[in-house]
Amino acid sequence: MANKSEVTIHDIAKKLNLAASTVSRALQDNPVISSGTRSLVKRIALEMGYRPNVQAANLRTRRTNTIGVVVPLINRYFFSSVISGIEEIAYGNGFTVTISQSNDNFEKECKITQTLFDNRVDGVIVSIGMQTTTFEHLKLFSERNIPIVFFDRVVDEIEAHKIVVDDYGGGYRVTEHLINQGAKTIAHIGGPLNLKIYVNRQKGYCDALKKAGLEVNNSLIINTMLSTEEGTEAIIKLLNNETRPDAIFCANDTSALSVIVYLKKKGIRVPEDIAVIGFSNEPFSEVVSPSISTIKQPGFLMGQKAAQLIIQQILHKKEEPHFRTIVMPTEIIIRESSQKKA
Amino acid sequence: MANKSEVTIHDIAKKLNLAASTVSRALQDNPVISSGTRSLVKRIALEMGYRPNVQAANLRTRRTNTIGVVVPLINRYFFSSVISGIEEIAYGNGFTVTISQSNDNFEKECKITQTLFDNRVDGVIVSIGMQTTTFEHLKLFSERNIPIVFFDRVVDEIEAHKIVVDDYGGGYRVTEHLINQGAKTIAHIGGPLNLKIYVNRQKGYCDALKKAGLEVNNSLIINTMLSTEEGTEAIIKLLNNETRPDAIFCANDTSALSVIVYLKKKGIRVPEDIAVIGFSNEPFSEVVSPSISTIKQPGFLMGQKAAQLIIQQILHKKEEPHFRTIVMPTEIIIRESSQKKA
DNA sequence: ACGAAAGTTGCAATCGATTGCAGAATTAAA
DNA sequence: TTTAATTCTGCAATCGATTGCAACTTTCGT
């Protein structure tokens, strides 16, 4: 209607013969303003369709009440769960959340963080991309005293709160489980080793093998980007390997699925001939056939925790925090794809 | 390092004995500034670690170069595809994207749109929630002359560009396909009828039945929120129905999956006893067993289109656009769950 | 009734960048 | 050499809200 595209506190002030400062304080329910004018101002503001310009307020207060979130992909169940957790806590505390995805692309990650900084977010929650090996773009935040919280794909080189899952334990228990199922030759399709999470999953795998007196055979370990395509390539390689595996631990569910699809196509039975286990508990893992055994990560909780930590730091910037690394427990979910024994 | 948390154009100006205005223009590559000072300013800006405060610039220019996106859920494949499409175009045109999810919750949707407005986004791309039946919170934008583009779950009551898929055609072809497979009693698990997309899918279903000389039996139509739980409830009701269906058209893949899971558990064969078909082509539909026939929607393309339309409106605000409703084609994907005939 | 205290409101600077207009400096034209 | 045209730079207002401080009004104790 009114194409008066902006109603400002000055407009309200003029209408009521008050000063803009009074209007501002009234709208904030500042008790220094008499309750009479306070409610009057609020009523008129509503009538006039006033909406605060947060950009202006932000500029003055040097706060944006915005948390930036950087994730590799939003359509991974794990990440969207984390985002939901973040959003819940953030909204509850009056913060807004800006989400961006890097698509595991380093340049996009740099651009995104740059943009978040230029928009003066109060803090960032980050899970880095697979290509990311340098961290200058993130140091920008620590240098400017803007809190960062890392989750899942954390970076060792920067001091900050970090929230990870027990990847080592997950890898260990998964492998142990396969051994218990009678597997003797267990392969591993791992992720890129610049990411700690994949290093840890792999270490868990190796240690479980050693513990059981099985040797670690490097020809049975293939590191990939864990996509559908690379999962297929990996299983082809493994099938042609000198010693053929009777079980495979895949570092995520996507690659596990592609392995299973390929094996089925080739008439190789899962889990009888080759058992397969994944990591992350994507929703499809439960419904495919055979259903995929996997490790469940508490994404929603991690998001909540991350949001709490970042908000706490934003609100108490003065105090130098001592940074913690929180390790969240994982849960092994045993389904059809890994049960050789009935 | 330098905890000088802000370097402003004034700092640069002081250092170079220039005016802030000159620095500002130099940084924008304004040709009115001599190329010598331009490059000098830019070099020093870099050295000093200057980063523009976009909030300040936005306040002055009354532009934010930000597009707000409101979707029900970001972890639905369709929606995250749309978001990717939006992001691609937006980034390419120098726009930032703020994504928020309403969780199909009306109040959250209101709060989100309010926040987007308060942040003065230049435009919004919206797909409304299942509970949404009033639209005051969206009229805010049209009243203030901020462009909106709706996609998928559009609202008739507001004039704007709209991007939808051919839901009617999808519902029609899906039903026709089931008829061709020899189904005689086709049920429909539909969505909430306040959303046009579900009305249209249902209308397509009804018309296809009539066209084939089959009667529309209301006891075979159940409208739900299409969740896993409600899908299961619906199939239970249908199995107890006087006339039992031999095929079911579910208005999304989630409910189709829950139906299939339930039928399998009860020993009812899919598709032989009851054929099932979904809508949306979620990634799991391809990999479950039986794989689910469905309708594929061009999410990524829709996102790109939506972003193009909104940017175009933002850049040419003066001209009153004549609003279009773009109907994107769908594709029927026939998999195992619906093929009664070999 | 008078001064102090408490309660209200306004003035004006500020946040950081942008931009119309004017003024200074340089160059070209006469 | 003088004037006009061109180039370059600076002044100061502006965007909309916030906030320290001053000023004004009312209330209250004595």
Q: Among partner residues A49, A143, A288, which is closest to B289 by beta-carbon distance?
A: A288
| Cβ atoms of residues B206 and B240 within 8 Å | no
Task: Give the pLDDT mean for A66-94.
Answer: 93
- What percent of chain B lies above the pLDDT cut of 70? 98
Lowest-confidence region among A118-127, B3-12, B113-122, B229-238? B3-12
CA distance A217 to chain B (A): 31
Indicate whether B4 pLDDT > 70: no
pLDDT tens-digit map of B167-211: 999 999 999 999 999 999 999 999 999 999 999 999 999 999 999
In this predicted structure, what is the pLDDT of residue B321?
76
B63 CB neighbour count, 10 Å cutoff: 12
Task: Please report residues of A whose CB lies closer than 8 A to that of B143.
Answer: 1-2, 49
In this predicted structure, what is the pLDDT of residue A341?
77
Q: For residue A342, what pLDDT band results from cuts at 50, 70 and 90?
A: low
pLDDT tens-digit map of A9-60: 999 999 999 999 999 999 999 999 999 999 999 999 999 999 999 999 999 9
B38 CB neighbour count, 10 Å cutoff: 20
Task: Give the pLDDT mean for B6-21.
Answer: 93
Cβ of residue B37 near strand D, that is under 7 Å? Answer: yes
Cβ of residue B169 near strand C, that is under 7 Å? Answer: no
Length of chain A: 342
Cβ of residue B17 near strand D, that is under 7 Å? Answer: yes
Site of tokens 């500029």: A59
Indicate whether B333 pLDDT > 50: yes
Cβ of residue A27 near strand D, that is under 7 Å? Answer: yes
- Å between A19 CA and D30 C1'? 36
B27 CB neighbour count, 10 Å cutoff: 17
In this predicted structure, what is the pLDDT of residue A289?
87
Q: Do A257 and B83 touch (CB under 8 A)?
A: no
pLDDT tens-digit map of B243-252: 999 999 999 9
Nucleotides of C under 7 A from a protein CB: 7-12, 14-20
What is the C-alpha to C-alpha distance for residues A277 and A289, in angstroms, rounded to an integer?
Answer: 13
What is the C-alpha to C-alpha distance for residues A99 and A67, in angstroms, rounded to an integer?
Answer: 9
Structural element, H or E, at residue B149: strand B148-151
Q: Do B74 and A75 touch (CB under 8 A)?
A: yes
| Cβ atoms of residues A68 and A102 within 8 Å | no
Give me the phi and psi of A100, to 5 degrees please: -140, 150
Task: Give the pLDDT mean for B106-132.
Answer: 95
Mean pLDDT estimate for chain B: 94
Which tokens in the block code for residue A108? Answer: 């996009």
In this predicted structure, what is the pLDDT of residue A5?
60
Structural element, H or E, at residue B125: strand B123-126
Strands A294-296 and A331-333, sheet pairing? antiparallel
Which protein residue's Cα is closest to nucleotide D16 at C1'? Answer: A56
Q: Do A96 and B84 touch (CB under 8 A)?
A: no
